[in-house]
Structures are given as structure tokens and as C-alpha cells.
Structure 1
Amino acid sequence: MIHIPVLKSQTLQIFSLLSEGTLIDCTLGFGGHTQALLQAHPQLQIIGIDQDEVAREYCKTHLPQERVQILEGNFSEQISNALKIAKSPIVGVLADIGVSSLQLDDLSRGFGFSSPTLDMRMDRSNPLDASKVVNHYPKLELEKIFREYGEIRESKKMAELIVNAREKKSFQSAFELSSLLEKHFKKNKIHPATLAFQAIRIEVNNELGVLESLLSSLYQAKLTNTIIAIISFHSLEDRIIKNTFREWEKSCICPAEVMRCECGNNHSRGKILTKKPLIATPEEIKANPRSRSAKLRAFEFGNDNAK
């Protein structure tokens, strides 16, 4: 099984000054980032979180268990547990948000355009899958998902097209859905179904909600001397991360209409380490085309955030 971790060198760069302590890999996947970090930092311990059973079982046999502890579940649910069970100070938190390449390539998971299923669940115990969204969501709800999660201009047309089609025959596969969209929408730089599949996947996995929950948990944990690095793959996630890091860095939190600072101007929780996101090099994109949309942003919680 070959797994290429996205932005591996950039991730190692962000965490280059680590020595000992515990790093939480919120999206362990098939262990690519964790393996690289373990090799780079011989004294580092890692707590890995993943909701995918296949990924967890793979890591149990391919990662050194004396240095890696694996938790089952979504990172938004398990991050608080990981923070509690760490046996040494938390020096880093890494999250690679999105679907792994191996999930995308596994046709049985229903993520790809040619998949014979319509699933898209990262956690296969999740009661909501793509089939339920596509075949049972009301037209207005589908339109909202396409507009907000896919930023699709023709969201109304797309929702109506799907509803009209499913009245004749429900969608059984991702291939049926992608073929329908390909027939009725222009093909520019990307496949016409790309943003629709993104929107449905976000809805099924509550991707924006779990990201916001993770960020909230990290803020409330009052971490010190801890580097937070998050890799995202589309503008909605990147916007949330960027804006959150900006809020964390603010020293003055007074309302904009206040003429003079009244808050004490000492509320900064740390500093942004990436003024611009780190992105893949041309060489990485050539080797792994899916890395072209990846962006890494990092923030470091400082010493005085135990307020």
C-alpha cells in the first residue's frame, strides 16, 4: 500500500524545532505524516486519531506502538481525550483535513466519479451517507448545500436537475450522478461534478463543523508553547482556519467602533507562523496532483495564554 502524505516537507519544516514531548496527529490516516515526524524527532511521542477502521488497522502494524497511541473516532470528538491522556507536554497538533487518497481511490467508498456506490462517508458507521443526501434531501436543501459548500453559481439548476432525475429513478452510484452533471454543465478546468461532490461530502461528514469544533477545543485547552498546523484542500476550510488564527493573534479585542482600547490590549494567544499558506512545490504536484489544492497554515500558542 503506497501512501504519499501531502506537504510532507512543509509539515516537517513547521515542526522542525520540536525535540521531545507529544504531538497529536488529528487525522492519522495511513500514517504518512506521523512516520516522517517520528523519524525526524526520535524523542517525540504521537497520539493519532482516525475514524477510518482500515486506516487504524494499517497503522497498528506499520507504526512503532511504543511511540504511537491510536484513538478511534473523529478528531472533533477525541481531541479533548487526546489532550488529557498525553504523558508529556503537547508540543504540536497536526490536522490534514479532507479525504485521503486511498479513500478516494477505493471505489467501494463512493467518493470518486466512477464509483459504483454513492457513499462518501469517512466513518462508515455514520448513519448519513451521500445516497440519503442525493435521493432524499428536499430541493431547497440540496440547493443550499451546493451554494454554500460547493460555491456553485448554478446551484438552483443543479438541485432541480437532480430532483427531477430521482423522481424517475433514484441514484444508485456516484457514476450515475457524475454522468448526469457532466451532460448538463460545462466542463472547464475541472470536472463538472467536482464541486457538487465536494458539497455532498462536506454535508455527509460535517467537515466544516468538525473543523470549527477542533479549533474551539484547542483554544479552550489553553495550550502553551504548542504549534498548531492544519492542512486544508478548499477555500471554505482555509477561510475558517485563516480567520480563526487571526482572531487568536489579536491583542486588542475591543469592538471596531471603540475609539480607544478598553480591553487591556493583552489578549493575544500567540502568533501566526505562516503569513501566507505553505503550498506544494511544482515537483510535488507532478508526483501527487492532488497536492495542488493543499494549503498549510500554522499558529504557535505562546507562554502567557493561561489566562
Structure 2
Amino acid sequence: MNPHIPVLKEEVLELFSSIPENGILIDCTLGFGGHTSALLQAHPTLQIIGIDQDRDAQEYCKQHIRSERLRILEGNFSDKIDEALQSSPIVGILADIGVSSFQLDTLERGFSFDSPVLDMRMNQECPISAEQVINTYSKLELEKIFRDYGEIREYKKMAALILQERQKQPFRSAAQLSAFLQKHFKRHHIHPATLAFQALRIEVNQELNVLQTLLQKICNASSKLQNTILSIISFHSLEDRIIKNTFKDWEKSCICPQSVMRCECGNHHSHGKILTKKPISATQAELSSNIRSRSAKLRAFQFGRQK
């Protein structure tokens, strides 16, 4: 049984249904191969380059996806995308940038509220963990990540209380931190630690930075991505906002400042077109079988000079 249920799988298959069969698709977040397996089955001659930094995921795919049409690159997608883009022809690029169910459910990884460790590293070779962030960051640094990455209204209070508590005893587990936040903060619809854990995870894994790097590197290669479809699945508003705004910028043909009365740039700067005017979300049927799909949003862009 696959330890991770891929979200929006049918929507991904539909989006890539018309891609050329003899091309190459880059799965930037291979994970446990849910999307890749489905795409390999749907397209009998499609080649896939899968990128992942999680060694557990890599080993699973090597054991369970025995296909000569899959090539695995080990590392973060923001680092490995350059190598993947050297292949040709690239007909599709997919990135599912959420935390896998396996990572969430494996207590030793430190993502869960009940975890006995405070880790949250997607790549366990990364130098900094959530434990280091919570116990060593200054008050101002904690305020910044809670405000910017968690969008927490009481970010100053949260940072101050954490500093007071860690002077008595350091935070050593996610369960300890979760119980502490639950004691001091009340939320009606979500667990009181949800947004703080999101902020810590983003900081530890530099998720927004790697997303922006990925988008920039793909844009830099846009001249060779004629008719290539890019599909990105995100799970929180900060990521979705970056993707939405980037796609809008890519679609613009005129890049003159708004203050300019008449176009002076040549009006030929569009990289392609947005395929999803609104993000695609999970159906009710998928929500019933996989509650973790509730926050998933898929946006897609197709490269190619617009006439």
C-alpha cells in the first residue's frame, strides 16, 4: 500500500492528458510516486524525471516503480530542476509542494502534534531543525516567522511566551510544543498549534524560497518549453499567492510601468497562458476519502509565445 495518497490525481491526469506521448515530464516532488505511477500508466511511452530529497521516498519508488521510463534525481527540486531541464523535449512539469502523508504520520519526523521529536526537516541532512528554531531564535526572529509564515495575529504574544518557557526548559518534542500552545491559545476550527507548526516547517525547509527559485529557473528556461504544461499543487495561501502572481506576470505581454501612457516594451513578453483562471480544488468525493486534500489548490500554466 502506498504510504501517501496523491491529491488531485484525476485532475492531474486530465491536465496532462493531451501531452505528446514521446516527451519527458518532470515530477519535481516525486514523493512516493502516486502521481508518477498514474502518469506512467496513462502514457505508455512517456519518460518521467522524478526529483525528491527524502531518502525514504526515493527507496520506496526504486522498489515499487520498476520502470525504465522513470529516472530519479536525488535532492531538492530547486537545486535539481536545472539538470532535469537539460533533457528534451520537456512536455510537462508537475510539483506537489505539500508534506506527504508519510512524513506527517511518521512520528520520528517531527511534523505531528504528537511527535516525540521536534524536527520537521523534509531532508534530514538539512542543518537546522524546528527544535533549533524554537530554542535558539531571538524574539524578533520568532515574531517574523509566526507573522509572515503562519499569519498569526498574536505573533508577538506567541514569541514572548515561547521565550519565557524555554528559559525554564527547552522544547524537545512537537508534543511538548503543541501542548504548550494549546494551553495558551484557543482556536475554534483548527488546532491552536496548526499555524505555528506551518510557520516552523516553512522556516526549516525554506519552502517559499525554494518555490520562488523553482519558478525563476523554469522561467529562465521558458524558450525551450514550447507548449509545456506546468502544474503546481500548493497547500497554503502563501504558496498559492506566489504561484498565482507569478503566472499572471508570465502571461503579460506588455511589461511597461503603469505610468507609461503608451507601450514602449514591444508588447511581446508573454511566456504563455494561464490554464486555470481559478485554482482547482478537491471534489467532495476526494474530500470524503482523503481529508488532507481539503486545502490543496492546483494552478496550471502552458508555455508558448502568444500571438
Shared fold, TM over 0.5: yes
Q: Which residue of 1 aligns with 2:200?
A: 200
Q: Which residue of 2 aligns with 1:281?
A: 283
Which letter does structure 2 place at the counterpart of 1:11? V
Q: Which residue of 1 aligns with 2:18?
A: 17
Larger mean CA deviation between 195-204 and 178-187 belongs to 178-187
Which letter does structure 2 place at the counterpart of 1:137? Y
- 2:67, 2:85 → 1: CA distance? 18
Q: Which residue of 2 aligns with 1:138?
A: 138
Which letter does structure 2 place at the counterpart of 1:35? S
- 2:68, 2:235 → 1: CA distance? 32
- 1:139, 1:65 → 2: CA distance? 50
Deviations 1:192-239 (A, max 9, x none): 000000000000000000000000000001221100000000000000
- 2:217, 2:91 → 1: CA distance? 16
- 1:122, 1:102 → 2: CA distance? 11
Deviation at 1:266, TM superposition (A): 1.1
Q: Does 1:92 align with 2:104?
A: no
Deviations 1:247-299 (A, max 9, x none): 00001100010011111111111000000000000111111001000000000
- 1:47, 1:134 → 2: CA distance? 36
Deviation at 1:62, TM superposition (A): 1.1
Deviation at 1:303, TM superposition (A): 4.8
- 2:30, 2:82 → 1: CA distance? 16
Q: Which residue of 1 aligns with 2:249?
A: 247
Deviations 1:148-190 (A, max 9, x none): 0000000000001111000000011000000000011112110
Q: Which residue of 1 aligns with 2:78?
A: 76
Larger mean CA deviation between 4-13 and 194-203 belongs to 4-13
Deviation at 1:24, TM superposition (A): 0.2
Gaps of 5+ in 1: none
Given that 2:273 and 2:306 are in contact with CA atoms closer than 8 Å, whether structure 1 keeps it comes out as no
Deviations 1:7-62 (A, max 9, x none): 10111111110122000000000000000101111110000000000000000011
Instruction: Describe the SS at the equivalent of 1:278.
Output: coil
Instruction: Describe the SS at the equivalent of 1:171.
Output: coil
Gaps of 5+ in 2: none
Larger mean CA deviation between 216-225 and 147-156 belongs to 216-225
Instruction: Describe the SS at the equivalent of 1:216.
Output: helix
- 1:64, 1:272 → 2: CA distance? 34
Given that 1:96 and 1:231 are in contact with CA atoms closer than 8 Å, whether structure 2 keeps it comes out as yes
Q: Which residue of 1 aligns with 2:293?
A: 291
Deviation at 1:108, TM superposition (A): 0.2
Deviation at 1:304, TM superposition (A): 6.8
Written as runs of structure 1 = structure 2, the 5 A alignment for 1:178-197 is 178-197=178-197
1:270 aligned to 260, 272, 277, which one?
Answer: 272
Which letter does structure 2 place at the counterpart of 1:29? G
Could you list the runs of 4 or more consecutive aligned residues of structure 1 that deviate by over 6 angstroms after TM superposition? Answer: none
Q: Does 1:113 align with 2:113?
A: yes
Which letter does structure 1 place at the counterpart of 2:295? S
- Alignment TM-score, normalising by the size of structure 2: 0.97
Which letter does structure 1 place at the counterpart of 2:15? I
Percent of paired sites with the same residue? 68
Q: Which residue of 2 aligns with 1:31?
A: 33
Inter-CA distance 264–255: structure 2 relative to 1 (3 Å threshold): same
- Alignment TM-score, normalising by the size of structure 1: 0.97
Q: Which residue of 1 aligns with 2:171?
A: 171
